[in-house]
Amino acid sequence: MSNRIFSKGECCHCAGHLEFPAEAAGQTVDCPHCGQPIQLIVLSPASGPRAGRRLWRGACLLLFGALTIFAVAWWWFEQPGRPAGSPSTVALQPRVHPPVIASPPDEAITNDFAISFSQLEKTPGSSLVYLTGHIRNSSDRRRFAVKADWDLFDSDHHPVGLTKDYQPIIEPGGDWHFKALVLEPRAVSARLHSISEDLGDPGQPRSEKPAR
């Protein structure tokens, strides 16, 4: 007959009855009833079932909190691109498809249009190149039949052509993400030439050139 002494306890998660060798007290195991990690603590007969249950729950909550803190800290420090010893700084990753060329990141106001910087972008997996950027309607009225033209330049800043785009309506405060096709292979930069809108008379569009 075995002389091992067994102790009794409860799971702090499901209150399931536990019986384990006395020398295993203090070890952390998975509850056979609910599968949650618990620490084996002997339930003292003098404390009663309720006191023992509170003790078990407190110990399990402490263990769960410690495991949660450890998991969050490990995830934080293991993020890709995070420099060692600097948890509050994230390293910037290089862009997969950088633009061919970009003009200075400013915004010009012309005829209540706010024109942001534009850039030439090559479509991944294709030879197509587009001039992209944003034009915002900074007025409090709708703008109809908005047309924009850009001059194209080569690497020596010589003009090599023109590209254009069209937007039927821009709401007040609305943003137009233009995408003008560039057919000139020598073009490496662009500059807004003019922007116009239809004011109601098809024969009298209003055109404005940006300030140089």
Tens-digit pLDDT string for the chain (212 aa): 456 687 888 888 888 887 888 887 888 888 888 888 988 887 665 444 555 566 777 777 888 888 888 887 777 766 665 555 444 444 445 545 445 444 445 677 777 888 876 788 888 888 888 889 889 998 999 999 999 898 999 999 999 999 999 899 999 989 998 888 888 889 988 888 899 898 765 455 555 556 45
Q: CA 22, CA 6: separation in Å to the nearest integer?
A: 5
Cβ pair 91, 81 in contact under 8 A: yes
- pTM listed for this prediction: 0.46
- Topology at the third CATH level for domain 101-208: Immunoglobulin-like (2.60.40)
Q: Where in the chain is the domain with CATH 2.60.40.3230?
A: 101-208
**Cα angle 171, 122, 159; round to 5:** 85
Contact 36, 13 (CB under 8 A): yes
Q: Are 135 and 164 in contact (CB under 8 A)?
A: no
CA–CA gap between residue 164 and residue 175 (Å, rounded)? 17
